[in-house]
Amino acid sequence: MFRGIPPLVQLIFWFNLAYLLPRISIGIPFGPALVSWDANEVITPFTAAVIGLSLVESAYMAEIIRAGVLGVDLGQHEAARAMGFTPVQTFFRIVLPQAMRTIIPPSGSQFISVLKGTALVSVIAMSDLLHAVQVIYNRTYQIVPLLLVACIWYLVLVTLLTAGQRRLEQRFARGHERHVVPGRVALGEEAAR
């Protein structure tokens, strides 16, 4: 469901939750409330941003992880079980490390799209990068230069994230390159001695 609704609509919805539920309380269902807050105080622009963006993203991430885990050959589960691994060991030692190889690239893209998604929260008056820029150019009227500044910052952040992603991908690609990695062989020979 959270994937079916545009993130911008969800953000505005969470921000305006107070119209629907004036009070939010934690308590026993149909019993007394233990704690209770005024929704207008709880749903600050920040909480609305966190709830909105994370619900959308977690829905996508769950799908990515599911696909990655299902993509691991059934024979790998069986070989691990055959060797006496418990189901938990099988998952964490054998299946997940192999799934990571297919999980990381789309997760990286997701991560970057969250970063870009933060620009959306400027409409609910939260001071993200874009909002800050808007505030400044409304005062100084230097619209294009300031938007360029924002662009450069987004690019820098995305480049850093992409580099991090590349490193992770290399780490989990171990055993999937055809040539021998010289460093590891040297290490191994040392261990063999």
Partner 1 sequence: MTGDVLATRDPAAAATGQVPVLRLHDVRKVFAGHAALDGVGLEVAEGEVVVVVGPSGSGKSTLVRCVHQLEHIDAGAMYLDGELLGHERHRGGLRPLSPRGAAAQRRRIGMVFQQFHLFPHFTALRNVTEAPVRVHGRRPADAEAEALELLDRVGLRDRAHHYPRQLSGGQQQRVAIARALATRPRVLLFDEPTSALDPELVDEVLAVVRGLAGDGLTMVVVTHEMAFAREVADRCVFMDAGRVVETGPPEEFFGRPRSERLQAFLSRHTASGRSDS
Under 8 Å between Cβ of 77 and 94:
yes
86 binds partner 1 (CB under 8 A): yes
Q: Return the SS3 of 173.
A: coil
Task: Please give the size of the binding site for partner 1, defined by CB under 8 A.
Answer: 33
Q: Which of 20, 84, 141, 144 binds partner 1 (CB under 8 A)?
A: 84
Of 90-119, binders to partner 1 (CB under 8 A) are 93-94, 97-98
78 binds partner 1 (CB under 8 A): yes
Shortest distance, CB of residue 65 to partner 1, whole angstroms?
A: 17
Shortest distance, CB of residue 96 to partner 1, whole angstroms?
A: 10
Under 8 Å between Cβ of 52 and 94:
no
Q: Which stretch binds partner 1 (CB under 8 A): 38-46, 62-70, 112-120, 175-183?
A: 175-183
CA distance 56 to 5: 9
Strand (E) or helix (H) holding 34: strand 33-38
Under 8 Å between Cβ of 97 and 172:
yes
Q: Which of 47, 76, 109, 113 binds partner 1 (CB under 8 A)?
A: 76
